[in-house]
Amino acid sequence: FDNIFIERLWRTVKYEEVFLKDYEHLFAARDSLGEYFRFYNGERRHSSLEGRTPSAVYWEGRVGITKAG
């Protein structure tokens, strides 16, 4: 199984969040990364998802599962 998706995620996190911040301590890093992942999943549009957010794609799939069941 190829983990290219995880590698791309971590590359994105590093370049869009980690490398741009100077975290004072571990708690600041945790809080900032939490905010980033909320943004990444809920607001940041992804070209590989046809301009949709990961959250939207997830919930669209859940609705399809519910209707099929």
Residue of higher predicted confidence among 2 and 13: 13
Whether residue 69 has pLDDT greater than 70: no
pLDDT band at 67 (very low <50, low <70, confident <90, very high): low
Residue 62: per-residue pLDDT: 81
Please identify which residue in the block is written with the tokens 């590698």. Answer: 7
- Regarding pTM above 0.85, the answer is no
For residues 57 and 50, what is the distance between their CA atoms, to the nearest angstrom? 10
For residues 4 and 67, what is the distance between their CA atoms, to the nearest angstrom? 31
Residue 63: per-residue pLDDT: 74
Residue 49: per-residue pLDDT: 92
Residue 12: per-residue pLDDT: 95
